[in-house]
Amino acid sequence: MERAIAVFDEMPKKDVLAWTAMISAYAAHGLGEEAFGLLKDMERNGLKPNHVTFGALLTATSALCLHGRLAGPSRAFRRSRTAHTKHANGAGCVCLGALLGACRMHGNVEAGERAAAQLIGLDPLNHAYYIILSDIYARANRFEDVKKVRGFMKERGIKKTAPGCSMIEVDGKVIEFSAKWVLEDLKNEIEWVLNAINFELKFTNRLSTEYGDLMENT
């Protein structure tokens, strides 16, 4: 970090990329306060942060949360809201979405509620925002609020539209499996293979046990 700071300080002209890179470096090293301080310096120099800058600030927020400094999430929320109003390309939504996820990770209910309210106002039919908010409530043992969120989703007919899925490659072909859809032929074949593997594992384990017993008795 010392070398990076020295190079940054020696730069005769710093653009948004340079400021963002330095903010990201502070955030990556857990120096949240320094990252937010550098943001202020950046703005004093007449430069506006972009969505990449705000992404780095969210990482800095995590560092602040880990050190018990709860001012960080509030700052990040204000900055994310500012990003939404300043950037017509939707960068604010990206920042708010990342902030909502960070609130779930760190258990910050207040900031999570505000971020979710902003996002739901922008995209009221997006199920992800409601589910993450209900998870935040559940982790805080606020189960009545979980019921309210789920009930609101039911009233509005908001459902998870994309089931969880996985993809594997077999003989050069990529095959997708989802929680709601599997080809019946493939399903039967997969079950057969899994049963065969299970049998082989049990047989190998039995042989290993018998061999161990034999060695102990000789």
Q: Is 14 in a helix, a strand, or coil?
A: coil
**CA 152 → CA 146, 167, 174, distances in Å?**
10, 33, 38
Most confident of the following: 18-32, 93-107, 180-194: 18-32
SS (H, E, C) 34-75: HHHHHHHHHHHCCCCCCHHHHHHHHHHHHHHHHCCCCHHHHH
Give me 110's structure tokens.
Answer: 């207040």
139 pLDDT more than 70:
yes
Write out the CATH class of domain 2-161: mainly alpha
* For range 165-171, the mean pLDDT: 64
217 pLDDT more than 90:
no
pLDDT tens digits along 6-51: 888 889 889 988 998 998 888 888 787 888 888 889 888 888 877 7
Give me 62's structure tokens.
Answer: 């995590």
- Say whether pTM exceeds 0.75: no
Please report, rounded to a whole number, the percentage of residues in the chain having pLDDT higher than 90. Answer: 12
Closest-CA residue to 35 (of 3, 6, 75, 7): 75
Confidence of residue 174 (pLDDT cuts 50, 70, 90): low
Domain layout of the chain by residue ranges:
2-161, 164-218
184 pLDDT more than 60:
no
